[in-house]
């Protein structure tokens, strides 16, 4: 049986809505969303967002775009979005890239959305490659790819 979003839109039966959140929606969460969308196929709808508004409307970090391309993902169409209560309500699960993001979202969440929050990697942070070299971005991408399957049915 199909459900409905808070806006009254039909949700196909069995579709899982995943929101991935990092600090700026500039490095980690855009890549994680691309990975989850590819591997989840038609069974998932994936969005990404950041807790800060600095990169809203802006493309992903150029070094992350390059790291993603080396892994076969295209982030060139990404534009940053800030996490808000509507996005959190939309999601069935909210994956955070680190404990600090998890804590920030817990403060923003209401009683219905708090149970949706979890770390992307089981019990550990996905290191933020911001300000680091290509190798840090590649390592971040590898960690995100390796953690994706645990979120897909």
In 3D, which of 19, 16, 84, 89 has the Cα closest to residue 48? 19
- What is the CB neighbour count within 10 angstroms for residue 87? 18
The token pair at 88 is 């959190």
Task: Note the pLDDT tens digit of each residue in 104-145.
Answer: 999 999 999 999 999 999 999 999 999 999 999 999 999 999
In 3D, which of 145, 24, 40, 26 has the Cα closest to residue 92? 40
Q: What's the rounded Cα separation, in Å, for the pair 59 and 38?
A: 20
Task: Note the pLDDT tens digit of each residue in 7-57.
Answer: 444 555 689 999 999 999 999 999 999 999 999 999 999 999 999 999 999
The token pair at 77 is 């169409």
Contacts of 2 (CB under 8 A, 6+ apart): 10, 11, 12, 13
Residue 8's pLDDT is 47
**Top-level CATH class of 13-151?**
alpha beta
The DSSP symbol for 59 reads: P
Q: Is the dihedral of CA 30, 98, 92, 39 positive or negative?
A: positive
On whether the CB atoms of residues 53 and 87 are closer than 8 A, the answer is: no
The catalytic residue positions are: 22, 28, 128
* Mean pLDDT of the 89-114 span: 97
Categorize the per-residue pLDDT at 4 as very low, low, confident or very high, splitting at 50, 70 and 90.
Answer: very low
The helix/strand count (H/E) of the chain reads as 5, 6
In 3D, which of 123, 120, 128 has the Cα closest to residue 151? 120
On whether the CB atoms of residues 43 and 153 are closer than 8 A, the answer is: yes
- pTM equals 0.91
């Amino acid at each position: 049986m199909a459900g409905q979003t808070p806006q009254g839109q039909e949700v196909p039966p069995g579709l899982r809505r995943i929101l991935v959140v990092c600090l700026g929606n500039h490095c980690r969460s855009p890549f994680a969303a691309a990975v989850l969308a590819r591997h989840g196929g038609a069974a998932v709808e994936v969005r990404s967002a950041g807790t800060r508004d600095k990169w809203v409307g802006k493309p992903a970090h150029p070094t992350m775009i390059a790291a993603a391309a080396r892994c076969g993902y295209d982030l060139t169409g990404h534009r940053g979005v800030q996490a808000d209560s509507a996005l959190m309500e939309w999601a069935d699960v909210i994956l955070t890239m680190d404990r600090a993001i998890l804590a920030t979202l817990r403060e923003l969440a209401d009683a219905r959305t708090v149970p949706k929050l979890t770390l992307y990697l089981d019990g550990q942070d996905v290191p933020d490659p911001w300000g680091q070299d290509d190798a840090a971005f590649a390592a971040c991408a590898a960690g995100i790819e390796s953690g994706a399957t645990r979120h897909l049915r």
